[in-house]
Amino acid sequence: MNNTRLTLRVDFGSRRSIGPGKIRLLEEIGRGGSISQAGRSLGMSYRRAWLLIDDLNRAFRRAVVRAKSGGSQGGGAVLTEFGSGLVRDYRAIETAAADAAKSRLRRLEAELRNSGRLNPDSPPRKTSIRGGKR
């Protein structure tokens, strides 16, 4: 499915959600063992990264990230088992959704304009909506 990508956001009611940003952050923490490093590698401030993790830790009964044992200063952060499971679940939902959507997405891809986007100054299309009533 070449460049086409499906992204999911799950809202649990109006105040709790998981989406690509939080999941990528969890994955980076799992890789690097540090919230600040994970934030940096995604171009977000420590504060922003911390808030996203805090949000997740408050959303679920079990924490997704905790301070690494070894003292309050030296330890960094680790993904909990529940946090790893959350990432796996999200990625699995994403894969299932992409599979379910595949044939429809292929049809939409076939409808994409190929040349127009390469030239942003291409002339306006015949079917203009400029005349539409304001």
Positions in the binding site for its own copies (CB under 8 A): 3-16, 18, 34-36, 46, 50, 53-54, 57-63, 65-68, 71-77, 80, 82, 86, 89, 92-93, 96-97, 99-101, 104-105, 107-109, 111-113, 116-117, 125, 127-134
The crossing angle, in degrees rounded to 10, of helices 20-32 and 46-59 is 100
**Residue 57 Cβ vs its own copies, minimum distance, rounded to whole Å:** 6
Closer CB to its own copies, residue 43 or residue 125?
Answer: 125
∠34-35-41 over CA atoms, to 5°? 90
- 120: exposed, middle or buried (C-beta count within 10 Å: 0-12, 13-18, 19+)? exposed
**Residue 58 Cβ vs its own copies, minimum distance, rounded to whole Å:** 6
**Residue 74 Cβ vs its own copies, minimum distance, rounded to whole Å:** 7
Closer CB to its own copies, residue 43 or residue 128?
Answer: 128
Can you say whether the dihedral through the CA atoms of 56, 83, 67, 44 is positive or negative? negative
**Residue 44 Cβ vs its own copies, minimum distance, rounded to whole Å:** 14
- Contact 9/17 with Cβ under 8 angstroms? yes
